[in-house]
Structure 1
Amino acid sequence: MKKTKKIILRIIKCAIIGSMLAVGIVTYSFKIEPKRLITREYQLELTTGGENSIRVVQFSDVHLGPNFSLKQLEKLVIKINRLKPDVIAFTGDLMDVPSQFEGRLNISDVLGKLKSTYGNYAVWGNHDHGGGGNRFYADIMVKSGFKVLRNESSIIDLGNGKVLNVIGLDDAMLGNPNVQKAYSGVDEQGATLLLLHQPDLVDEVGHENFDLALAGHSHGGQVVLPVVGPIVTPPLAKKYTKGMYKLGNDHHLYVNSGIGTTRIPIRFWDPSEISVFDLTL
């Protein structure tokens, strides 16, 4: 009888501890981690013995809406400016449901405060096309001081005969990416920075066609289990889900985990991030 009571008490204790742990994890995942913002920094040598250094700061998947406000965007802008970027790259999904976001007219007042040496560049994400976004996105970004690259490129003159090609592809889910058109104006002697929303598209582009590719879309899975990895990622972010990938000897892809959330406002083991790349050319 005493043994039975001890067993019952142990079961009850385990159930209480398990319940408390579950509540703690849920609370952390919904209330704490979605508000965390970390900075990840990388150094890459794109040209052996290069003398030019350029800092590229990437942010992605803001998803302005019920779970990410303009006030939070203001804090993000301040943090990015403190990093003193030479180039700022936004890899898509500005608003969660663009037609429903009432603060659309005020976005450019906030994003327009971003400062960089050589310019700010943006590409389209699926949320920028969908939800009425195709009516607002390009105008907002241009007013914010961004050059929106939709299957086109831009050349940055770094001096000393060095140039950096910035190539932007259209969204692959609701847009129409055209690799040949995007690369038509590239300086073949320069280093190549590719911006795109969906990371898995790099296999279609060809790894030899970029030195560094920056993507978003996956949100890193939003919920990541140790050892297991992301529970689920969206289409075109199945192969490359988060972080840095070395593709061949001299080609890299970075998948940013994003700033905001979509569908469910949850993050676990996958905080929002700004990614910084100090490139030697």
Structure 2
Amino acid sequence: MSDVNRTLARSIPETEIHDDADLLTRLEQRLGFVHARQRLGIEQDHAQRVFGGGGINFFHPENWYSMQTLMRWTFKLAGMYEWGRRNARNIQVIHNPVRHRKIPAAFKGFRLLHLTDLHVDMDEAITARLLEITGSLEYDLCVITGDYRAQTYGPEEGALEGMRRLRERLRGEAYAIFGNHDSIRMLPPLEDMGYRMLMNESALIDRGGEKIQIVGVDDPHYYRVDNLQMAAQGLDLSCYTLLLSHTPEIFKQAAHAGMDLMLCGHTHGGQVCLPGGTAITLDSDCPRFVGRGNWRWRDMDGYTSTGAGSSLLPVRFNCPPEVVVHTFYPG
């Protein structure tokens, strides 16, 4: 075991060290010492905390699992739980046109399937509906902006199995990033499945000899391991550039860094909203205008998807789940 692996293994029970040796080696080689150690360390230290310390966001309702029981019984006593579950299974397909002067002519009509907040191990009926929809859609490229696991800690096997089933339905390449529900331990298996994980990295998409750029950052919400400067190294900002971020919270940094389009999720659009779609809470440190749907900040366009899955409980009110097909047009 390398010195880096020994360092990372100190936070792992002795019985798990040998089983995790290959994983730690792959993470070291894939991410480097600092990123791997930081991500794993925060996962260990804050796995079941509601209140985060050390500069991480102070309050995380998604970590407060006793809230799930309270909410479930509240909805059941009000006779709303099954109604909310039906709403959560009713995934909408949103078609969103994207026009920008920097979109190359070769990308006219290019369709980008955007999935987010899948939580594929929470409710089999929701996951089955997601697989049904994605298998029937026409698109050129898929991007996924994080949150594959239902809980923020614990086993990853259920989420990985759901993501394997999804990958079998997706056509062509699928670029993905991590959210605050995802463990860095999921990185090697997801890449083995064929997902192209962007861990503060970028990729070039070629179509007819013309190009656009995709930038992806690791979770900015809870883990705070996003590094836009690293991800954007070597970019040609005269080329149309889109950013994948789990949360819209870094929208100002992204706009000032020259991103043209930001795709994100995390907020679930509120998930439980008042009539008319007004979110009770967005669980995100950002203004409400970036909390759902299309928005714009300075010269950057943005879209925050309500997501296909549900958080805490598989229920939704006045906030339908969605998958989004963004269609590009020069303009």
The TM-score range, normalised by the shorter chain, is 0.7 to 0.9
Code of the residue aligned with 2:94 in structure 1: it is R
State the 1:201 CA deviation: 0.9
**Partner residue of 1:216?**
265
User: What is the DSSP-based 3-state SS (H/G/I as helix, E as strand, rest coil) of the residue aligned with 2:283?
Assistant: coil
Mapped contact 1:61–1:216 kept (Cα < 8 A): yes
1:123 and 2:173 matched: no
2:102·2:238 contact (CA, 8 Å) conserved in 1? no
Query: Are residues 1:170 and 2:208 paired?
Result: no
Q: Give unpaired runs (5+ residues) of structure 2.
A: 1-76
Counterpart CA distance in 2 for 1:216 and 1:56 is 15
**Is the 2:148–2:163 Cα contact (8 Å) retained in structure 1?**
no
Structure 1: distance between partners of 2:184 and 2:257: 31
- Aligned CA distance change for structure 1 residues 158 and 138 (closer, same or farther; 3 Å): same
* 2:132 is equivalent to residue 82 of structure 1: no
Q: Tell me the CA shift for residue 206 of structure 1.
A: 2.2
Matched, 1:241 2:303: no
Task: Give 1:235 shift.
Answer: 2.7
Partner residue in 1 for 2:149: 95
Which runs of 5 or more structure 1 residues have no equivalent in the other structure?
Answer: 1-21
C-alpha distance in 2 between matches for 1:210 and 1:235: 21
The equivalent of 2:35 in structure 1 is none
- 1:205, CA displacement in angstroms? 2.1
Deviation at 1:257, TM superposition (A): 0.6
- 8 A Cα contact 2:294 2:303, kept in partner: yes
1:221-256 alpha-carbon deviations (Å, 9 max, x no partner): 0011135710011133544211110223x5211001
Give the whole-Å Cα distance in 2 for the aligned partners of 1:26 and 1:142.
Answer: 37
What does the per-residue CA deviation read over 1:142-164, in whole Å, with 9 as the maximum and x for residues that have no partner?
A: 1332111111100011124x211
| Distance of aligned partners of 1:269 and 1:203 in 2 relative to their CA distance in 1, 3 Å threshold | same
C-alpha displacement at 1:271, in angstroms?
Answer: 1.2
Does the aligned pair in 2 maintain the 1:217–1:237 contact within 8 Å?
no
Residue type of the alignment partner of 2:316: R
* Residue 165 (structure 1) shift: 0.3
Task: Report the counterpart of residue 3 of structure 1 in structure 2.
Answer: none
In structure 1, the residue matched to 2:48 is: none
- Work out which of the residue numbers 98, 114, 125 in structure 2 matches 1:44: 98
Q: Counterparts of 1:85 and 1:140 in 2: how far apart (Å)?
A: 25
Higher gyration radius (CA):
1
Percent identity over the alignment is: 27
Q: Secondary structure at 1:180's aligned position in 2?
A: helix
Partner of 1:107: 162
Alignment map for 1:1-281 (pairs within 5 Å): 23=78, 25-29=80-84, 31-47=85-101, 50-52=104-106, 53=108, 54-65=110-121, 67-69=122-124, 72-97=126-151, 99-100=154-155, 102-104=157-159, 106-117=161-172, 119-128=173-182, 133-135=183-185, 137-160=186-209, 162-172=210-220, 173-206=222-255, 209-227=258-276, 229-239=278-288, 240-248=290-298, 250-281=299-330
